Amino acid sequence: MGKRNMPGGMGNMSGMMKKVQKMQKEMAKVQQELEAKEVEATAGGGVVKAVVNGKKELVSLNIDPEAMDPEDVEMTQDLIIAAVNEAIAKAEKMMEEGMAKVTGGMNIPGM
């Protein structure tokens, strides 16, 4: 009796594997597209602007020359750190939201 059910079960497993493979291909495509996108963040009212790509790599950093106060280098450094960290957080959120669209919000280990 159990043997009769086995081929159908294997067919379902095969169909499931095809769906998983399709999802993996779609996720890879979306990930590649998102990695190429850029997000920006500013600090100090726009005095410092950082641009990060989907790979969380800093691709651009602009500092208003007027922000460069030789008397307060520490403040400029803090603004740079704040802008870069915010841009990285935006890139992470962009990637998470993009992947969630593909997976339907399922938490799939390793993907």
pLDDT in tens, 70-103: 888 899 999 999 999 999 999 999 999 988 888 7
Residue listed under structure tokens 């950082």: 50
Q: Domain tally for the chain?
A: 1
Residue listed under structure tokens 């997000």: 39
What pLDDT score was predicted for residue 68? 80
Res. 52 pLDDT band, cuts 50 70 90: very high
Domain of 6: which CATH number?
A: 3.30.1310.10
What pLDDT score was predicted for residue 67? 76
109 lies in some domain = no
Distances (CA, A) of 90 to 22, 54, 100: 28, 9, 15
21 lies in some domain = yes
108 lies in some domain = no
111 lies in some domain = no
Global pTM value = 0.72
29 lies in some domain = yes
- Indicate whether 9 pLDDT > 80: no
How far is residue 86's CA from residue 69's CA, in Å, rounded to a whole number? Answer: 23
17 lies in some domain = yes
110 lies in some domain = no
Q: What average pLDDT score do residues 17-29 get?
A: 86
94 lies in some domain = yes
Distances (CA, A) of 27 to 17, 45, 61, 101: 15, 36, 30, 9
- Please compute Rg for the chain using Cα positions: 23
Strand partners, 38: 53
The secondary structure of residue 67, as a DSSP letter, is: G
Task: Give the range of the structural domain holding residue 14, as residue numbers without chain letter.
Answer: 2-103
